[in-house]
Amino acid sequence: MDLERLLTDRLTPAFAAVAGEPVAPTVRRSPRADFQSDAALALARRLGRPPREIAQAVLDRAVLDDVCAVAEVSGPGFVNLTLADGALAGMVAALAGDERLGVPVTGEPETVVVDYSGPNVAKEMHVGHLRSTVIGDAAVRVLGWLGHRVVRVNHLGDWGTPFGMLIAHLVDLGEAEAAQELSIGDLDGFYRAARSKFDADPAFRERARQRVVALQGGDPETRRLWRLLVGQSQRYFLTVYELLDVTLSGEDFRGESAYNDRLGAVVTDLDRLGLLTDSAGATCVFPPGFVGRDGVGLPLIVRKGDGGYGYPATDLAALRQRVDELGATRLLYVVGLPQRQHFAMLFAVAGQAGWLRPPVRAEHLGFGSVLGPDGRMLRSRAGGSVKLVDLLTEAVTRATALARTRNPDLDQAAAEIGRAVGIGAVKYADLSTDRTRDYVLDWERMLALDGNTAPYLQYAYTRTRSVLRRAGAVPGAGRVVLLGTPAERALAVELLGFAGVVHEVARTAQFHHLAGYLHRLATRFSTFYERCPVLRADGELRASRLLLTDLTGRTLRQGLDLLGIRTLDRM
Ligand code: ARG
């Protein structure tokens, strides 16, 4: 049971009785007491009573004696709650005996589709795909751990008119040569070469055009060449996922082409519903409420003037498939904020068509850009977009070098540490800021052993391990927990907050709240570690401190694992 929940449950009936209607007590952590509710302040205007009086009336009714040492009105009308040490100790002891660290599996499991990564065939993944992959992976881990059925979907860009030119270029190069280029990950080089021929050479352009027709018409040879391109790119993307240490696998690719058979029905059904409008030759839906700067309605183009289907039609078909065939009730799309309007319109149109209706919800988990040290969009030294593998390799190289400098005795282990720390640092930098904001890729800061960084948390974890190793015993459950000092007490309160944060993050996908929680926990542990001798304590005190140490380690490990970040026993 997490503390916010517990106190909320205690205050809810009291607020309802005082207000004569249901009121959310909004219990929050507070520096003045352990927790604070400011609900009486908001209620005062509505009830026409002084907030302090309301707060007192609530406290007169709420049952808090068994959990709180102090429950009082403060300031203009806050309810301040300080937990009783005995109650805290009992809850921490129970937590220690729970494999799930107090985090229950959900009582309402649902099928959640997480659409993430989504790179494009024969194009280099860029940092936007990195963010999508890292954030999506965290979503998958959190929801899965809570007992939801999670379907990973890698909506690969594997269809559309550019494939005409890509296939024509592949034929020019020869299959073997093309495969070689693509397998070493020179995707952009391949794409650029195709593009420049397309722009410069009318004969090539014509061959490309014919290939598009042949591809759409199902010509076996053209399809084979297309599959070759897709296969090579997939193999390459898998190496990036492997390096990035995410749970995406080959089975999760479900490219845009997978929905080809369903595109016709999208148009027919929208037509039957009377939602289609012709606009400049294209077939469109104009969802209400979407207007451009000129005040004119914005269309979602379902079918282009040339009869082809595009990105929006594919997304409509995919949405239906996820709801109807996969039985999803929650659809998450982890895609950069530049596509905000696309998703808003997609959901609006799907809603109009009745394809998206409660209890099914769709959410665009948008994110900002990665910036270079100069505060501008991240660019490579040559000025192009940064190759993802290069970025990840640099992270690992830097982290390995740092590990060696800190501890010259490491030999083999340095590589493993470098990998866990380097990749962890990249992921943590991404997940520890509000995802809707841009963030600066700053190696020094990301890899620092202090501050809100992965290495700091990983290091805190190894400290817990080393204490337990030296103690020679893992504390069992059901032991006495002693919270005699402020540092122990503060650590205990923090440990009890894990469940609340995990459930909140599952709802909001604001992973920086989980990161912030872990950072607070590590900070509390650090203070505890400085002030409270563990190995030099005796008897019950030693056992209690070992239990707190172990519980902190397990919580850090689980929390980092939910973010896709590895922990190490030594570093
Ligand atoms: N391939 C797209 C891109 O690179 C991302 C796909 C996102 N998913 C979706 N269902 N539209 O921008």
From residue 167, give the alpha-carbon distance in Å to each of 48, 215, 222, 259, 509: 73, 9, 8, 21, 39
Ligand 1 pocket member 54 (CB < 6 A) = no
Would you list the DSSP string of 188-212? HHHHHHHHHHHHH-HHHHHHHHHHH
Main-chain dihedrals φ then ψ at residue 29, nearest 5 degrees: -65, 145
User: What span, in angstroms and rounded, lies between the C-alpha atoms of 433 and 36?
Assistant: 26
Query: What are the average pLDDT values for consecutive 10-residue runs of the chain, which has 571 residues?
Result: 85 92 90 90 90 93 92 94 93 92 95 97 87 97 98 96 92 86 78 91 93 92 94 92 95 96 96 94 95 91 90 97 98 97 98 97 96 80 74 92 87 89 96 94 90 95 95 70 94 95 96 98 97 92 94 98 96 86
Ligand 1 pocket member 255 (CB < 6 A) = no
Mutational pocket test of ligand 1: of 133, 315, 335, the residue with most ligand atoms within 8 Å of the beta carbon? 335
Ligand 1 center–CA 119 separation, angstroms = 7
**What does the block give as tokens for 521?**
């926990």
Strand arrangement, sheet containing 361-365: 149-153, 111-115, 330-334, 361-365
Ligand 1 pocket member 256 (CB < 6 A) = no
Nearest CA-CA partner of 167 in 202, 209, 196? 209
- Name which residue sits closest to atom 5 of ligand 1, judged by CA: 118
Say which residue the tokens 């270029």 belong to: 169
Ligand 1 center–CA 342 separation, angstroms = 10
- Is the alpha carbon torsion for 156, 159, 165, 169 positive or negative? positive
Ligand 1 pocket member 564 (CB < 6 A) = no
User: What span, in angstroms and rounded, lies between the C-alpha atoms of 306 and 213?
Assistant: 12
Ligand 1 center–CA 512 separation, angstroms = 23
- Name which residue sits closest to atom 2 of ligand 1, judged by CA: 118
The rounded Cα 311 to chain-centroid distance in angstroms is 24
The answer to whether 344 and 414 are in contact (CB under 8 A) is no
Ligand 1 center–CA 332 separation, angstroms = 12
- Ligand 1 atom at shortest distance from the alpha carbon of 311: 11
**What does the block give as tokens for 177?**
């040569």
Ligand 1 pocket member 115 (CB < 6 A) = yes
Ligand 1 pocket member 128 (CB < 6 A) = no
The answer to whether 79 and 71 are in contact (CB under 8 A) is yes
**What does the block give as tokens for 124?**
């280099």
Residues composing the chain? 571
Say which residue the tokens 């988990």 belong to: 365
- Ligand 1 atom at shortest distance from the alpha carbon of 342: 11
Q: How do strand 330-334 and strand 361-365 relate by DSSP bridges?
A: parallel
User: What span, in angstroms and rounded, lies between the C-alpha atoms of 458 and 430?
Assistant: 16
**What does the block give as tokens for 63?**
């049952």
Ligand 1 pocket member 302 (CB < 6 A) = no
- Name which residue sits closest to atom 7 of ligand 1, judged by CA: 118
pTM here is 0.93
The pLDDT assigned to 474 comes to 65
Torsion, Cα 98 103 104 107, to 10 degrees, reads 180
Mutational pocket test of ligand 1: of 114, 125, 135, 155, the residue with most ligand atoms within 8 Å of the beta carbon? 155
Say which residue the tokens 């912030």 belong to: 516
Cis peptide before 220 (omega within 30 of 0): no
The pLDDT assigned to 533 comes to 95
Ligand 1 center–CA 192 separation, angstroms = 20
Ligand 1 center–CA 298 separation, angstroms = 20
Ligand 1 pocket member 120 (CB < 6 A) = yes
User: What span, in angstroms and rounded, lies between the C-alpha atoms of 406 and 316?
Assistant: 53
Please enumerate in sequence order all residues whose Cβ is within 8 A of that of 20, keeping only pairs 6 or more positions apart, or say none.
Answer: none
Please enumerate in sequence order all residues whose Cβ is within 8 A of that of 30, keeping only pairs 6 or more positions apart, or say none.
Answer: 36, 78, 80
What are the CB-based long-range contacts (under 8 Å, 24+) for 394-400?
394/443, 395/422, 395/423, 395/425, 395/426, 395/443, 395/446, 395/447, 396/422, 396/423, 397/422, 398/422, 398/443, 398/447, 399/425, 399/447, 399/455
The pLDDT assigned to 182 comes to 79
